[in-house]
Amino acid sequence: MAQLKGKVLAGKVLVKPHEAEAKTASGIIIPDSAKEKPREGTVVMVGAAKKDEEMEVKKGDVVLYGKYSGQELTIDNEDYLLISQSDILFIA
């Protein structure tokens, strides 16, 4: 992953989604058409805190987020997800 230039605005978090599982626990290969969107990722960039809400996540945190959360972005041929901190459900 290359060094990203720019910044994320207040209250937003840039996440690198983890890869979807390619095999089940019993060894069955899952085709691309049947894979679910990943709902877990690593925080890459964090925006400033909002006036009424402090930022609880930091770069490097692994987070779980809602299925339909955020905006998908492609930066330097890498896929990312830009979400609001309020869309994060759990920090691992």
Instruction: Report the pLDDT value the prediction gives residue 68, as an integer from 0 to 100.
Output: 84
For residue 85, what is the DSSP state? G
Tell me the one-letter amino acid at 71. Answer: Q
d(CA 39, CA 83): 12
**CA–CA distance from 36 to each of 1, 5, 26, 64 (Å)?**
23, 30, 18, 14
How do residues 31-81 score in pLDDT, each as one tens digit? 766 666 668 999 999 998 888 888 899 999 999 998 888 899 988 888 999
Q: pLDDT band for position 2 (50/70/90)?
A: low
φ and ψ at residue 33, rounded to 5 degrees: -70, -20
How do residues 10-22 score in pLDDT, each as one tens digit? 889 999 998 766 6
Q: Which domains does the chain have, with CATH numbers?
A: 12-91 (2.30.33.40)
